[in-house]
A = this chain, B = another copy of it.
Amino acid sequence: MIEVAIDTIWVLLAAFLVFFMQAGFAMVEAGFTRAKNAGNIIMKNLMDFACGSLLYWAVGFALMFGVTRGGIIGSSGFFGGGLFEHLELDIPIAAFLLFQTVFAATAATIVSGAMAERTKFISYLIYSIVITAVIYPVVGHWAWGGGWLGKLGFIDFAGSTIVHSVGGWAALVGAAVLGPRLGKFNSEGKPNAIPGHNITLSALGVFILWFGWFGFNPGSTISGLNLSIAHIAVTTNLSAAAGAVLAMIVSWLRYGKPDVSLTLNGALAGLVGITAGTAAVSFFGSVVIGAGAGVLVILAVEFIEKVLHIDDPVGAVAVHGVCGAYGTVMVGLFATDGGLFYGGGMALLGVQALGVLAVAAWIMSTTFILFKVIQVTVGLRVSASEEEGGLDTGEHGMNAYADFAMRTAP
Protein backbone atom coordinates (compact mmCIF):
# COMPACT_ATOMS: atom_id res chain seq x y z
CA MET A 1 0.00 0.00 0.00
CA ILE A 2 2.71 2.45 0.98
CA GLU A 3 4.80 1.24 -1.93
CA VAL A 4 1.92 1.89 -4.28
CA ALA A 5 1.42 5.36 -2.87
CA ILE A 6 5.09 6.21 -3.32
CA ASP A 7 5.09 5.01 -6.89
CA THR A 8 1.86 6.81 -7.65
CA ILE A 9 3.10 10.07 -6.21
CA TRP A 10 6.32 9.75 -8.16
CA VAL A 11 4.60 9.06 -11.44
CA LEU A 12 2.10 11.85 -10.98
CA LEU A 13 4.71 14.43 -10.05
CA ALA A 14 6.79 13.36 -13.02
CA ALA A 15 3.73 13.68 -15.24
CA PHE A 16 3.12 17.19 -13.93
CA LEU A 17 6.69 18.14 -14.78
CA VAL A 18 6.36 16.66 -18.24
CA PHE A 19 3.10 18.53 -18.69
CA PHE A 20 4.96 21.73 -17.91
CA MET A 21 7.27 21.01 -20.84
CA GLN A 22 4.37 22.13 -23.03
CA ALA A 23 4.98 25.63 -21.73
CA GLY A 24 8.64 25.17 -22.55
CA PHE A 25 7.95 24.14 -26.12
CA ALA A 26 5.53 27.01 -26.58
CA MET A 27 8.04 29.58 -25.32
CA VAL A 28 11.01 28.17 -27.26
CA GLU A 29 9.06 28.07 -30.48
CA ALA A 30 7.40 31.43 -30.05
CA GLY A 31 10.70 33.09 -29.18
CA PHE A 32 12.59 31.60 -32.12
CA THR A 33 10.03 32.79 -34.66
CA ARG A 34 8.65 36.16 -35.60
CA ALA A 35 6.33 38.30 -33.51
CA LYS A 36 3.66 38.28 -36.17
CA ASN A 37 3.15 34.54 -35.66
CA ALA A 38 3.49 34.31 -31.89
CA GLY A 39 -0.21 33.93 -31.16
CA ASN A 40 -0.50 31.17 -33.73
CA ILE A 41 2.39 29.23 -32.19
CA ILE A 42 0.86 29.52 -28.76
CA MET A 43 -2.44 28.32 -30.09
CA LYS A 44 -0.89 25.31 -31.81
CA ASN A 45 0.94 24.31 -28.67
CA LEU A 46 -2.10 24.70 -26.51
CA MET A 47 -4.31 22.86 -28.93
CA ASP A 48 -2.09 19.88 -29.54
CA PHE A 49 -2.04 19.31 -25.83
CA ALA A 50 -5.77 19.86 -25.41
CA CYS A 51 -6.87 17.80 -28.40
CA GLY A 52 -4.14 15.30 -27.66
CA SER A 53 -5.30 14.76 -24.08
CA LEU A 54 -8.80 13.96 -25.23
CA LEU A 55 -7.76 11.75 -28.13
CA TYR A 56 -5.07 9.88 -26.36
CA TRP A 57 -7.52 9.02 -23.61
CA ALA A 58 -10.18 8.01 -26.13
CA VAL A 59 -8.06 6.11 -28.62
CA GLY A 60 -4.31 6.44 -28.39
CA PHE A 61 -3.81 4.81 -25.01
CA ALA A 62 -5.75 1.75 -26.10
CA LEU A 63 -3.73 1.37 -29.29
CA MET A 64 -0.50 1.76 -27.37
CA PHE A 65 -1.13 -0.19 -24.20
CA GLY A 66 -4.18 -2.33 -24.90
CA VAL A 67 -3.83 -6.09 -25.30
CA THR A 68 -1.45 -6.57 -28.20
CA ARG A 69 -2.44 -7.86 -31.62
CA GLY A 70 0.63 -9.69 -32.75
CA GLY A 71 3.06 -7.17 -31.28
CA ILE A 72 1.90 -4.56 -33.77
CA ILE A 73 -0.90 -2.65 -32.11
CA GLY A 74 -2.94 -2.57 -28.92
CA SER A 75 -6.63 -3.22 -29.08
CA SER A 76 -8.38 -2.71 -25.77
CA GLY A 77 -9.09 -0.03 -23.26
CA PHE A 78 -10.63 2.75 -25.30
CA PHE A 79 -11.77 5.73 -23.22
CA GLY A 80 -9.73 4.48 -20.28
CA GLY A 81 -12.08 1.54 -19.88
CA GLY A 82 -11.17 -2.13 -19.77
CA LEU A 83 -8.51 -3.99 -17.86
CA PHE A 84 -4.83 -3.34 -18.06
CA GLU A 85 -3.62 -6.22 -15.97
CA HIS A 86 -1.21 -7.31 -18.68
CA LEU A 87 0.79 -4.16 -17.93
CA GLU A 88 1.53 -5.46 -14.44
CA LEU A 89 1.49 -2.01 -12.95
CA ASP A 90 1.16 -1.45 -9.25
CA ILE A 91 0.00 2.14 -9.65
CA PRO A 92 -3.56 3.10 -10.57
CA ILE A 93 -4.08 3.01 -14.30
CA ALA A 94 -5.14 6.66 -14.17
CA ALA A 95 -1.65 7.68 -13.09
CA PHE A 96 -0.15 5.72 -15.94
CA LEU A 97 -2.65 7.20 -18.38
CA LEU A 98 -1.71 10.72 -17.38
CA PHE A 99 1.99 10.00 -17.66
CA GLN A 100 1.53 8.52 -21.11
CA THR A 101 -0.73 11.36 -22.19
CA VAL A 102 1.90 13.99 -21.50
CA PHE A 103 4.43 11.89 -23.40
CA ALA A 104 2.15 11.62 -26.40
CA ALA A 105 1.63 15.37 -26.38
CA THR A 106 5.38 15.91 -26.33
CA ALA A 107 5.84 13.87 -29.48
CA ALA A 108 3.06 15.77 -31.21
CA THR A 109 4.11 19.27 -30.23
CA ILE A 110 7.66 18.97 -31.58
CA VAL A 111 6.33 19.40 -35.09
CA SER A 112 4.72 22.77 -34.51
CA GLY A 113 8.04 24.58 -34.40
CA ALA A 114 9.36 23.10 -37.61
CA MET A 115 6.19 24.00 -39.48
CA ALA A 116 5.90 27.40 -37.87
CA GLU A 117 5.01 30.66 -39.61
CA ARG A 118 3.32 29.22 -42.68
CA THR A 119 0.98 26.32 -41.82
CA LYS A 120 -2.79 26.67 -41.87
CA PHE A 121 -4.15 26.30 -38.36
CA ILE A 122 -6.89 23.84 -39.28
CA SER A 123 -4.37 21.65 -41.09
CA TYR A 124 -2.10 21.62 -38.09
CA LEU A 125 -5.02 20.54 -35.93
CA ILE A 126 -5.73 17.61 -38.24
CA TYR A 127 -2.11 16.51 -38.20
CA SER A 128 -1.99 16.81 -34.44
CA ILE A 129 -5.09 14.69 -33.96
CA VAL A 130 -3.90 11.91 -36.24
CA ILE A 131 -0.42 11.62 -34.80
CA THR A 132 -1.61 11.51 -31.20
CA ALA A 133 -4.47 9.16 -31.81
CA VAL A 134 -2.80 6.72 -34.18
CA ILE A 135 0.68 7.27 -35.53
CA TYR A 136 2.51 7.72 -32.25
CA PRO A 137 0.63 5.00 -30.32
CA VAL A 138 1.66 2.41 -32.88
CA VAL A 139 5.39 2.89 -32.45
CA GLY A 140 4.80 3.35 -28.76
CA HIS A 141 3.23 -0.08 -28.72
CA TRP A 142 6.16 -1.59 -30.56
CA ALA A 143 8.66 -0.46 -27.95
CA TRP A 144 6.78 -0.01 -24.70
CA GLY A 145 3.36 -1.61 -25.05
CA GLY A 146 4.46 -5.21 -25.41
CA GLY A 147 5.24 -5.00 -29.12
CA TRP A 148 7.92 -6.62 -31.24
CA LEU A 149 10.61 -4.01 -30.79
CA GLY A 150 10.58 -4.17 -27.01
CA LYS A 151 10.70 -7.95 -27.24
CA LEU A 152 13.91 -7.74 -29.28
CA GLY A 153 15.60 -5.96 -26.39
CA PHE A 154 15.43 -2.46 -27.80
CA ILE A 155 16.42 0.05 -25.10
CA ASP A 156 14.76 3.41 -25.28
CA PHE A 157 14.30 4.17 -21.67
CA ALA A 158 12.37 7.42 -21.84
CA GLY A 159 11.94 7.92 -25.54
CA SER A 160 14.86 9.38 -27.51
CA THR A 161 13.39 7.50 -30.42
CA ILE A 162 9.84 6.72 -29.44
CA VAL A 163 9.00 10.28 -28.44
CA HIS A 164 11.63 12.65 -29.78
CA SER A 165 12.56 11.06 -33.07
CA VAL A 166 8.90 10.47 -33.75
CA GLY A 167 8.31 14.18 -33.40
CA GLY A 168 11.53 15.02 -35.22
CA TRP A 169 10.90 12.88 -38.29
CA ALA A 170 7.33 14.07 -38.52
CA ALA A 171 8.72 17.60 -38.33
CA LEU A 172 11.15 16.84 -41.13
CA VAL A 173 8.45 15.52 -43.41
CA GLY A 174 6.09 18.33 -42.51
CA ALA A 175 8.64 21.05 -43.15
CA ALA A 176 9.70 19.43 -46.42
CA VAL A 177 6.19 19.02 -47.80
CA LEU A 178 5.29 22.53 -46.70
CA GLY A 179 8.29 24.25 -48.24
CA PRO A 180 10.36 27.05 -46.73
CA ARG A 181 9.07 30.34 -45.42
CA LEU A 182 8.95 33.16 -47.95
CA GLY A 183 12.33 34.80 -48.06
CA LYS A 184 14.13 32.01 -46.25
CA PHE A 185 16.21 31.13 -49.28
CA ASN A 186 17.39 33.66 -51.80
CA SER A 187 17.31 33.10 -55.52
CA GLU A 188 20.57 31.13 -55.44
CA GLY A 189 19.26 28.89 -52.65
CA LYS A 190 21.39 30.51 -49.97
CA PRO A 191 19.55 30.62 -46.65
CA ASN A 192 18.82 34.00 -45.09
CA ALA A 193 18.73 34.61 -41.35
CA ILE A 194 15.22 35.19 -40.02
CA PRO A 195 15.92 36.09 -36.41
CA GLY A 196 13.53 34.99 -33.68
CA HIS A 197 11.64 37.74 -31.94
CA ASN A 198 12.17 37.04 -28.27
CA ILE A 199 15.28 35.26 -27.14
CA THR A 200 14.62 35.72 -23.43
CA LEU A 201 11.36 33.86 -23.92
CA SER A 202 13.14 31.06 -25.75
CA ALA A 203 15.70 30.82 -22.98
CA LEU A 204 12.93 30.58 -20.43
CA GLY A 205 11.44 27.82 -22.54
CA VAL A 206 14.70 25.90 -22.51
CA PHE A 207 14.98 26.18 -18.75
CA ILE A 208 11.39 24.96 -18.41
CA LEU A 209 12.11 22.03 -20.73
CA TRP A 210 15.24 21.10 -18.77
CA PHE A 211 13.19 21.28 -15.56
CA GLY A 212 10.45 19.16 -17.09
CA TRP A 213 12.98 16.62 -18.29
CA PHE A 214 13.60 15.76 -14.66
CA GLY A 215 10.10 14.33 -14.82
CA PHE A 216 10.52 12.89 -18.28
CA ASN A 217 13.56 10.69 -17.59
CA PRO A 218 13.47 9.84 -13.88
CA GLY A 219 9.69 9.45 -14.08
CA SER A 220 10.05 6.76 -16.71
CA THR A 221 10.97 4.25 -14.02
CA ILE A 222 7.25 4.38 -13.25
CA SER A 223 8.39 3.81 -9.70
CA GLY A 224 9.77 6.02 -6.98
CA LEU A 225 11.05 3.01 -5.12
CA ASN A 226 13.49 2.35 -7.90
CA LEU A 227 16.53 4.17 -6.60
CA SER A 228 18.03 4.50 -10.06
CA ILE A 229 15.96 7.66 -10.30
CA ALA A 230 18.92 9.47 -8.73
CA HIS A 231 21.36 8.09 -11.28
CA ILE A 232 18.95 9.00 -14.06
CA ALA A 233 18.55 12.55 -12.83
CA VAL A 234 22.31 13.02 -12.81
CA THR A 235 22.94 11.57 -16.27
CA THR A 236 20.12 13.74 -17.59
CA ASN A 237 21.67 16.84 -16.12
CA LEU A 238 25.24 16.07 -17.16
CA SER A 239 24.25 15.35 -20.73
CA ALA A 240 22.27 18.56 -21.03
CA ALA A 241 25.19 20.52 -19.59
CA ALA A 242 27.66 18.89 -21.96
CA GLY A 243 25.33 19.52 -24.92
CA ALA A 244 25.09 23.21 -24.10
CA VAL A 245 28.83 23.63 -23.56
CA LEU A 246 29.79 21.87 -26.77
CA ALA A 247 27.23 23.65 -28.87
CA MET A 248 28.57 26.93 -27.52
CA ILE A 249 32.12 25.98 -28.37
CA VAL A 250 31.29 24.71 -31.83
CA SER A 251 29.25 27.78 -32.71
CA TRP A 252 32.09 29.95 -31.42
CA LEU A 253 34.60 28.16 -33.61
CA ARG A 254 32.43 28.10 -36.69
CA TYR A 255 30.84 31.53 -36.58
CA GLY A 256 33.31 33.53 -34.57
CA LYS A 257 30.99 34.20 -31.66
CA PRO A 258 29.13 31.96 -29.23
CA ASP A 259 25.61 31.76 -30.67
CA VAL A 260 22.83 32.04 -28.12
CA SER A 261 20.08 30.26 -29.99
CA LEU A 262 22.29 27.33 -31.03
CA THR A 263 23.59 26.97 -27.48
CA LEU A 264 20.01 26.77 -26.28
CA ASN A 265 19.45 24.08 -28.91
CA GLY A 266 22.58 22.36 -27.63
CA ALA A 267 21.14 21.96 -24.16
CA LEU A 268 18.02 20.43 -25.65
CA ALA A 269 20.13 18.19 -27.89
CA GLY A 270 21.91 16.84 -24.82
CA LEU A 271 18.59 16.17 -23.16
CA VAL A 272 17.16 14.40 -26.17
CA GLY A 273 20.36 12.43 -26.68
CA ILE A 274 20.48 11.01 -23.17
CA THR A 275 16.82 10.11 -22.97
CA ALA A 276 17.26 6.60 -24.37
CA GLY A 277 20.25 5.65 -22.28
CA THR A 278 19.73 7.68 -19.15
CA ALA A 279 19.37 4.62 -16.94
CA ALA A 280 21.85 2.46 -18.83
CA VAL A 281 24.97 4.57 -19.13
CA SER A 282 27.49 5.86 -16.59
CA PHE A 283 28.06 9.49 -15.69
CA PHE A 284 31.02 9.52 -18.06
CA GLY A 285 28.88 7.99 -20.76
CA SER A 286 26.26 10.67 -20.30
CA VAL A 287 28.81 13.44 -20.62
CA VAL A 288 30.15 11.94 -23.83
CA ILE A 289 26.69 11.43 -25.27
CA GLY A 290 25.67 14.98 -24.40
CA ALA A 291 28.84 16.44 -25.82
CA GLY A 292 28.32 14.54 -29.06
CA ALA A 293 24.75 15.78 -29.27
CA GLY A 294 25.95 19.35 -28.79
CA VAL A 295 28.26 19.04 -31.79
CA LEU A 296 25.84 17.07 -33.87
CA VAL A 297 22.95 19.44 -33.45
CA ILE A 298 24.85 22.31 -35.08
CA LEU A 299 26.01 20.18 -37.98
CA ALA A 300 22.49 18.90 -38.39
CA VAL A 301 20.98 22.38 -38.35
CA GLU A 302 23.38 23.37 -41.12
CA PHE A 303 22.85 20.19 -43.10
CA ILE A 304 19.09 20.43 -43.02
CA GLU A 305 19.15 24.04 -44.05
CA LYS A 306 22.09 24.27 -46.40
CA VAL A 307 22.08 20.85 -48.00
CA LEU A 308 18.50 19.64 -47.79
CA HIS A 309 17.13 23.18 -48.13
CA ILE A 310 14.45 22.41 -45.60
CA ASP A 311 13.35 25.30 -43.44
CA ASP A 312 12.96 24.39 -39.77
CA PRO A 313 12.76 27.70 -37.92
CA VAL A 314 13.45 26.31 -34.46
CA GLY A 315 15.77 23.40 -35.19
CA ALA A 316 13.24 20.74 -34.18
CA VAL A 317 14.46 18.17 -36.67
CA ALA A 318 18.08 18.54 -35.63
CA VAL A 319 17.31 18.49 -31.93
CA HIS A 320 14.63 15.83 -31.72
CA GLY A 321 15.00 13.79 -34.87
CA VAL A 322 18.75 13.62 -35.35
CA CYS A 323 19.81 13.72 -31.70
CA GLY A 324 17.04 11.31 -30.74
CA ALA A 325 18.28 8.76 -33.25
CA TYR A 326 21.88 9.42 -32.29
CA GLY A 327 21.16 8.96 -28.57
CA THR A 328 19.39 5.70 -29.18
CA VAL A 329 22.30 4.27 -31.14
CA MET A 330 24.75 5.48 -28.50
CA VAL A 331 23.08 3.17 -26.01
CA GLY A 332 24.45 0.32 -28.09
CA LEU A 333 27.93 1.71 -27.42
CA PHE A 334 27.71 3.08 -23.91
CA ALA A 335 25.26 0.85 -22.05
CA THR A 336 27.29 -0.44 -19.12
CA ASP A 337 25.38 -3.66 -19.49
CA GLY A 338 25.52 -4.82 -23.12
CA GLY A 339 27.10 -1.83 -24.83
CA LEU A 340 29.90 -2.33 -27.33
CA PHE A 341 32.36 -0.23 -25.35
CA TYR A 342 31.66 -2.30 -22.28
CA GLY A 343 32.29 -5.62 -23.93
CA GLY A 344 28.69 -6.31 -24.87
CA GLY A 345 29.39 -6.89 -28.54
CA MET A 346 27.35 -5.76 -31.50
CA ALA A 347 24.00 -7.31 -30.58
CA LEU A 348 22.52 -4.39 -28.69
CA LEU A 349 23.93 -1.91 -31.19
CA GLY A 350 22.16 -3.80 -33.95
CA VAL A 351 18.85 -3.78 -32.17
CA GLN A 352 19.16 -0.09 -31.42
CA ALA A 353 19.88 0.71 -35.05
CA LEU A 354 17.01 -1.46 -36.17
CA GLY A 355 14.65 0.34 -33.82
CA VAL A 356 15.76 3.73 -35.04
CA LEU A 357 15.27 2.74 -38.66
CA ALA A 358 11.96 1.02 -38.16
CA VAL A 359 10.52 3.99 -36.32
CA ALA A 360 11.90 6.43 -38.89
CA ALA A 361 10.40 4.42 -41.70
CA TRP A 362 6.99 4.21 -40.06
CA ILE A 363 6.87 7.87 -39.15
CA MET A 364 8.18 9.22 -42.41
CA SER A 365 5.86 7.16 -44.53
CA THR A 366 2.71 7.73 -42.50
CA THR A 367 3.27 11.43 -41.96
CA PHE A 368 4.16 11.90 -45.63
CA ILE A 369 0.81 10.43 -46.57
CA LEU A 370 -0.92 12.45 -43.90
CA PHE A 371 0.57 15.78 -44.95
CA LYS A 372 -0.02 15.06 -48.62
CA VAL A 373 -3.66 14.22 -47.98
CA ILE A 374 -4.08 17.41 -45.98
CA GLN A 375 -2.33 19.34 -48.73
CA VAL A 376 -4.66 18.22 -51.49
CA THR A 377 -7.82 18.50 -49.40
CA VAL A 378 -7.93 21.43 -46.96
CA GLY A 379 -4.51 22.71 -48.01
CA LEU A 380 -1.42 22.85 -45.85
CA ARG A 381 -0.10 26.35 -46.31
CA VAL A 382 -1.52 29.82 -45.88
CA SER A 383 -1.50 32.26 -48.78
CA ALA A 384 1.62 34.29 -49.46
CA SER A 385 -0.08 37.51 -48.45
CA GLU A 386 -1.27 35.97 -45.20
CA GLU A 387 2.22 34.70 -44.53
CA GLU A 388 3.60 38.16 -45.10
CA GLY A 389 1.08 39.82 -42.84
CA GLY A 390 1.50 37.14 -40.22
CA LEU A 391 -0.61 34.21 -39.12
CA ASP A 392 -1.78 36.00 -36.02
CA THR A 393 -3.80 38.36 -38.12
CA GLY A 394 -4.64 35.87 -40.81
CA GLU A 395 -5.59 32.84 -38.78
CA HIS A 396 -6.72 34.38 -35.52
CA GLY A 397 -7.48 38.04 -36.17
CA MET A 398 -5.19 39.15 -33.40
CA ASN A 399 -1.90 40.73 -32.59
CA ALA A 400 0.29 39.34 -29.84
CA TYR A 401 1.98 42.63 -28.93
CA ALA A 402 -0.62 45.30 -29.49
CA ASP A 403 1.10 48.08 -27.55
CA PHE A 404 4.56 47.72 -29.02
CA ALA A 405 5.81 49.52 -32.08
CA MET A 406 7.15 46.85 -34.38
CA ARG A 407 9.79 46.77 -37.07
CA THR A 408 7.73 44.29 -39.00
CA ALA A 409 4.14 43.31 -39.51
CA PRO A 410 1.91 43.74 -37.71
Contacts and interface: CB of A to CB of B under 8 A. Distances in A.
B401 A241 contact: no
A407 B258 CA distance: 26
A112 to B, nearest CB: 13
B200 A233 contact: no
Contacts of A400: 198-200
Given A38-B200, A203-B26, A244-B47, A95 B3 contact: no
Nearest to A399: B195
| Copy total for this chain | 3
Given A19-B211, A257-B396, A4 B227 contact: yes
Contacts of A342: none
Given A50-B267, A195-B398, A403-B408, A230 B2 contact: no
Interface string A65-94: 000000000000001100000000001111
**Chain A interface size range:** 35 or more
Interface stretch (A10-18, A174-182, A304-312, A329-337): A10-18
Contacts of A362: none
Interface in A1-52: 1-6, 8-10, 12-13, 15-17, 19-20, 22-23, 26-27, 30-31, 34-36, 38-39, 42-43, 45-47, 49-52
A225 B260 contact: no
A314 to B, nearest CB: 14
A304 to B, nearest CB: 20
Contacts of A229: 8-9, 12, 95
Contacts of A42: 199-200, 203, 260
Interface in A206-246: 206-208, 210-211, 214-215, 218, 224-225, 227, 229-231, 233-234, 237-238, 240-242, 244-245
B98 A255 contact: no
Contacts of A215: 16
Interface centre among A46, A50, A201 (most CB of B within 10 A): A50
Given A6-B2, A9-B6, A234-B98, A258 B34 contact: no
Contact of A6 (B5, B26, B284): B5
Given A23-B211, A50-B267, A201-B200, A94 B8 contact: no
